Amino acid sequence: MPALITSYAPEYSSQELRLKIRRGEIKGSTSGLARTMQANLIVLPSRYAKDFRGLCMRNPVACPLLECLKPGDWESRLAENSDLRTDIPAYNVWKDGKLVSRRKSDIREEWTSDHVGFLIGCSYSFETALKDAGLEPMCSKKNLAVPMYITNIRLNPSGVFSGFYVVSMRSYKPCDIPRVREITGNYIKQHGEPIAWGWEEAARIGVARKIEMGLVDFGDVVEIPDDEIPVFWACGVTPQVAVQESRLKGVVMSHLPGSMFVTDLEPDDEESIML
Amino acid sequence: MPALITSYAPEYSSQELRLKIRRGEIKGSTSGLARTMQANLIVLPSRYAKDFRGLCMRNPVACPLLECLKPGDWESRLAENSDLRTDIPAYNVWKDGKLVSRRKSDIREEWTSDHVGFLIGCSYSFETALKDAGLEPMCSKKNLAVPMYITNIRLNPSGVFSGFYVVSMRSYKPCDIPRVREITGNYIKQHGEPIAWGWEEAARIGVARKIEMGLVDFGDVVEIPDDEIPVFWACGVTPQVAVQESRLKGVVMSHLPGSMFVTDLEPDDEESIML
């Protein structure tokens, strides 16, 4: 694992951050690096674009679609002078369903005129709001990546795509849940309010044992204090897992979970997202 | 049960149909009555409007929001000269979570300046497309209401609202499923493609035994031929059940399942729906 850079760095604008990432000066997690909205990236051969767009539209809590680019385009409308092929710290590349390159810093060679890029909302954006309200999650306090779990909750299928919700987990005292729901509920394009909370719900969605055994599917293991319960948000890794499971033909690319694309959008700037 | 009027009546425009319904000349199911888009109605006290809008946005396959009216308004933008208080064959009215009137033909007295109306897409719209493709469902051939079942699939919660998907069921030969998925997948605001199909999936979503025992939660019982399997679409009765389960304070109204609001929109006219 590369060292996590999680210190909050408001001295850089989102554009400066992207340039630093492009130059290789920032590696690893982008958590806490920007006050602006961060995004997950999925890049697919154009023949899968319609079905994937449908997957997002039919599962907006897990796959909140921020932008769907034109085939071959790599400059995001949500980030000035951006290049989606270089402005993320690390990428994964699959060919015919098989992971062929991990943690690549640049995908300019792989991105053809037939590739369609999708940007999907990320819960990093609401973590700042939780922190501002005195509800900073443990993972953020400890400079760890948020723990993520693959659940048994199915996505609504769309064409070739199907799969299961991936959730991120943060723990809270039961008395804080209403406030946590309210704050994150405003971030509609960033997974919104939690989809489940408490140990009973953790068992129902198929992740309780994993948590008890100190396991994660993605991210870091974070202990839950005795007076807190797990709270689960839909997570932007969901479409990445769904894409992997669908064993698509051709070259598929995505960001490395945790290393996101930094946009210019304010976290609550829902209005400027037109699809 | 009132007699079902299911003969296809293209001689009437959608506006004429609404007038006939308003005058009490058409009662019961509106299935097959119009080529235009039909809609489910939910009417709530304004304090619940934000959470309910969130429920729709977070569960667009089960609750595809077509229109959210201003408090007190009862004329739909989707239907010229319409009156949502009179233009549906039958309404149900709840007070403090208790059903107080069934099959009312008119809710002008109940609809106050504090009431917010929501119109939600309906699968009747894609039935015409299935029929045109030679894939008319059995219920439609037999002039029966489509069978509907409450599943164990949870909605993404939103504020005071939570609940389970309700599905409509039509049976098809396995070889026809890809075509059925493709056709209905185009009707994004009318539940789109099925969310599950086959007996194994029926068991998973908790409805197989009900079907085998000849039971339904809503609609009519329709037999499944031996060479066909059940196919399940998310259903617009979902929000109605979620609203009932939430035991809201005050007066809540909705259409009687099966008796829908007839809009002026073409079934594939997604563009004119702006929220």
Q: Is B100 on the interface with A (CB under 8 A)?
A: no
Least confident window among B42-56, B170-184, B193-207, B249-263: B249-263
Residue of A nearest to B51 (CA): A185
**Closest CB from B54, B153, B194 relative to A185:** B54
Helix-, strand-, coil-residue percentages of chain B, each rounded to 5: 25, 25, 50
Angle between helices B49-58 and B238-245 (to 10 degrees): 140
- Kindly determine whether residue B54 and residue A192, on different chains, have CB atoms separated by under 8 Å: yes
What local confidence, expressed as pLDDT, does residue B125 receive? 73
Residue B2 to chain A, least CA–CA distance (Å): 35
AA letter at B240: Q
- The answer to whether A163 touches A154, Cβ cutoff 8 Å, is yes
Residue B213: other Cβ atoms inside 10 A: 8
Confidence at A1, pLDDT banded by 50, 70, 90: very low
What three-state secondary structure class fits B238? helix
AA letter at B100: V
> Which of A53, A56, A61, A182 to mutate against chain B (most B CBs within 10 Å)?
A61
What local confidence, expressed as pLDDT, does residue B3 receive? 37
Residue of A nearest to B201 (CA): A154
Chain B residues near residue A188 by CB distance under 8 angstroms: 54, 57
Calpha distance A120→A36 (Å, rounded):
14
Handedness of CA B237, B29, B16, B104 (dihedral sign): negative
Calpha distance B45→B93 (Å, rounded):
13
pLDDT tens digits along B52-77: 999 999 999 999 999 999 999 999 99
Q: Is B188 on the interface with A (CB under 8 A)?
A: yes
- Kindly determine whether residue B159 and residue A185, on different chains, have CB atoms separated by under 8 Å: yes
- The answer to whether B17 touches B5, Cβ cutoff 8 Å, is no
Q: Is B43 on the interface with A (CB under 8 A)?
A: no
Angle between helices A238-245 and A49-58 (to 10 degrees): 140
Strand (E) or helix (H) holding A103: strand A98-104
Q: What is the ipTM of this complex?
A: 0.84
Calpha distance B46→B69 (Å, rounded):
10
- Kindly determine whether residue A195 and residue B156, on different chains, have CB atoms separated by under 8 Å: yes
As to burial, measured by CB atoms within 10 angstroms (0-12 exposed, 13-18 middle, 19+ buried), residue B152 is exposed
**Closest CB from B153, B154, B158 relative to A193:** B158
* Residues pairing with B229 in the sheet: B172
Q: In what order do the strands lie in the sheet with A229-234?
A: A148-154, A164-172, A229-234, A196-197
For every residue of A18-87, DSSP letters joined together read HHHHHTTSS-S--TTT-SS-EEEEEEEEGGGHHHHHHHHHH-TTTS-EEEEPPTT----TTSTT--TTTS
Residue B11: other Cβ atoms inside 10 A: 6
User: Could you tell me the domains of chain B?
Assistant: 14-123+241-262 (3.40.1640.10), 132-234 (3.30.2040.10)
Q: What tokens does A124 get? A: 């990093």
What local confidence, expressed as pLDDT, does residue B270 receive? 62
Residue B228 to chain A, least CA–CA distance (Å): 21
Closest C-alpha to B89, from B128, B41, B131:
B41
Detail the DSSP E strand segments found in B138-228: 148-154, 164-172, 196-197
What local confidence, expressed as pLDDT, does residue A270 receive? 62
* Residues pairing with B164 in the sheet: B154
pLDDT tens digits along B126-169: 888 899 999 999 888 888 888 999 999 999 999 999 999 999 99
- Kindly determine whether residue B188 and residue A234, on different chains, have CB atoms separated by under 8 Å: no
Least confident window among A50-59, A134-143, A206-215: A134-143
Average pLDDT of the segment spanning A237-257: 92
Average pLDDT of the segment spanning B22-30: 88
What three-state secondary structure class fits B82? coil
What local confidence, expressed as pLDDT, does residue A3 receive? 37
Residue B179: other Cβ atoms inside 10 A: 14
> Quick one: DSSP state of residue B53?
H
Least confident window among A42-56, B128-142, B203-217: B128-142
Residue B197: other Cβ atoms inside 10 A: 23
pLDDT at A272 over 60: no
- The answer to whether A181 touches A196, Cβ cutoff 8 Å, is no
Least confident window among A8-22, A71-85, A186-200, A201-215: A8-22
Contacts of residue A132, Cβ cutoff 8 Å, sequence gap at least 6:
none
Give the residue, B39 or B33, on which the prediction is more confident: B39
User: What's the angle, vertex CA B155, arms to CA B149 and CA B161, rounded to 5?
Assistant: 110
Q: Is B54 on the interface with A (CB under 8 A)?
A: yes
Residue A213: other Cβ atoms inside 10 A: 8
- The answer to whether B253 touches B193, Cβ cutoff 8 Å, is no
Chain A residues near residue B154 by CB distance under 8 angstroms: 153
Q: Which residues of B37-71 are buried (b: 16+ CB within 10 A; e: fewer)?
A: bbbbbbbbbeebbebbbbbbbbbbbbbbbbbbbee
- Kindly determine whether residue B57 and residue A60, on different chains, have CB atoms separated by under 8 Å: yes
Mode of pairing for the β-strands spanning B91-95 and B98-104: antiparallel
